[in-house]
Chain A
Amino acid sequence: MAGPAAGSRDLRHLALLHRGQPGDVPALWGIIRGSLERDEGLLVAAPDASAERLRTGLGAESSRVTWMDMTALGRNPARIIPAVLTFVAQCQGRKVTCVTEPVWPGRSAGERQEAARHEALVNLAFRGVPATIVCLYDTTALPRSVVADAAATHPVILSEGREQASTSYREPAKPPAHCNRTLAPPPPQSGELRYHRDLRPVRSFVAKAAQQAGLSSPRAADLVLAISELAANTLRHTRAGGTLHVWRSSGTLICQVQDTGQITDPLAGRRSQSPDTPGGKGLWLVNQVCDLVQIRTRQGSTTIRLHMRLAQP
């Protein structure tokens, strides 16, 4: 069985296509045990359902692993890269192996798009970083389109114990085309507000909508902050002001900011934050507090849609 080469000094980003429980996949055990034998930093970020079997199987060794619940961390997939970058930094030059499961059965279409974007951006964010990132894809439970996205966003596929170069992966890694599809317009009944200079009306508009929707008060405050950050970016980077839309859709409060700017940095909001460096925290913060963030940007137009689930997940 081929395993990831131990001596590589650059990122190795693999999709592990498996059937059923990750805990039953010998190739994954090979990767985990190999990493522990080499005394690497080992992070497992998976939904608890997957992680539990791995934890039990590792017994006392499980304390050498950093565990993260992917359903919390990766609810918004844009949070995963900064968390892994922080983990790599904490490992202080040790080699690092990360096992992640960014797409689990039941994720919405919008979440799957953002997870695929995340996977494409991993290749960019960890370029030159001596890390092995193994991403789990359960081919028995996930839609075929998800597996196709995995193939397109990972240079290497590990399947049936065999490692091979992905034929659909292209450098430089770009998110699959469907991830950039224009979002459906806000529904006609959505609330709308234009803003130019003063952000107070933007905040009170969102606060009121959040209260009416029954969002808990700390999360409402976070949403107000997130929207204010986006609207502040409008004022900083454009002259034309922006438009806010707010509406509810199946248990979620959605707020959208639209302006004439363009976000040219694909990793904006995904770098690990040193808490005392000034600047550039707005999008990072938005990613931290929202359940899903959808950004569609091109020259002269940026649309950012924030999702907050009304029932605490």
Chain B
Amino acid sequence: MEEFRLSSETRDGVAIVRVHGYLDVTTCGELDELLADVRREQSRVILDLASVRFMDTNSLSVIVSHWRKLEGSGGRLMLAGAQQRYLRALWITGLASRMSLYDDVEEAIAAAGPAGSASQGN
């Protein structure tokens, strides 16, 4: 059965949070805590969802809440590698067209721009 794992790193002033496995009511609390920690250090965050095979609306609420907080303070949350066939909730709720989606982390980093350009996003 699919295991759940989280990891994070910082590259060029951008935090990258990688999720592996599945995001549901039993795992989204850990993501919530990690994103809260990461936000204390970085205002530009890439959430790498390429290895996520399931996501529910509880997890989506966690992501949306951090997205809101980052945007509210001039930062950014970028989603990388989200696939419609796995992350149905992102599309059904219409969030896929409102949030910043990138094919992969490299593309998201390029879009984030050089270090220190947090408020120049979008």
List chain A positions with a Cβ less than 8 A from chain B: 197-201, 203-204, 217-218, 221-222, 224-225, 228-229, 232, 235-236, 273, 275-279, 281-282, 285, 288-289
Contact = CB atoms under 8 A, between A and B. Distances in A.
Given A235-B25, A276-B68, 17 more contacts: A197-B26, A218-B85, A221-B85, A221-B88, A222-B88, A224-B54, A228-B24, A228-B56, A235-B26, A276-B98, A278-B65, A282-B56, A282-B58, A285-B57, A288-B92, A289-B88, A289-B92
A281 B60 contact: yes
B26 A229 contact: no
Nearest to B28: A232
B70 interface: no
B103 to A, nearest CB: 20
A229 B57 CA distance: 7
A278 B1 contact: no
Contacts of B89: 225, 281, 285
12 contacts: A200-B2, A218-B88, A221-B85, A228-B56, A229-B56, A235-B26, A273-B94, A275-B98, A276-B68, A276-B98, A278-B61, A281-B61
A273 B64 contact: no
A223 to B, nearest CB: 10
Contacts of A275: 93-95, 98
Interface string B63-79: 01101100000000000
Contacts of B67: 276
Q: Which 3 A-B pairs have the closest CB atoms?
A: A278-B61, A232-B25, A281-B57
A66 to B, nearest CB: 18
Contacts of B62: 278
Contacts of A221: 85-86, 88
Interface residues of B, number: 26
Interface in B94-122: 94-95, 98
Contacts of A279: 61
A218 to B, nearest CB: 7
Contacts of B57: 229, 281-282, 285
B47 to A, nearest CB: 15
Nearest to B55: A225
Contacts of A225: 54, 56, 88-89, 92
Interface in B38-59: 54, 56-58
Nearest to B21: A200
B26 A228 contact: no
Given A204-B1, A228-B54, A229-B57, A199 B25 contact: yes
A278 B24 contact: no
A121 to B, nearest CB: 22
Contacts of A203: 54
Given A204-B1, A232-B56, A276 B95 contact: yes
Contact of A217 (B56, B65, B85, B98): B85
Contacts of A198: 26
A232 B24 contact: yes
Nearest to A218: B85
Given A235-B26, A279-B61, A285 B85 contact: no
Given A199-B25, A218-B85, A232 B93 contact: no
Given A228-B56, A275-B98, A276-B68, A200 B1 contact: yes
A199 B60 CA distance: 17
Interface string B1-33: 110000000000000000000101110000000
Nearest to B60: A281
Contact of B64 (A204, A224, A276, A289): A276
A236 B68 contact: no
A224 B93 CA distance: 16
- Give the residue among B24, B89, B95 with the most A Cβ atoms within 10 A: B24
A177 to B, nearest CB: 32
Nearest to A234: B25
Contacts of B85: 217-218, 221
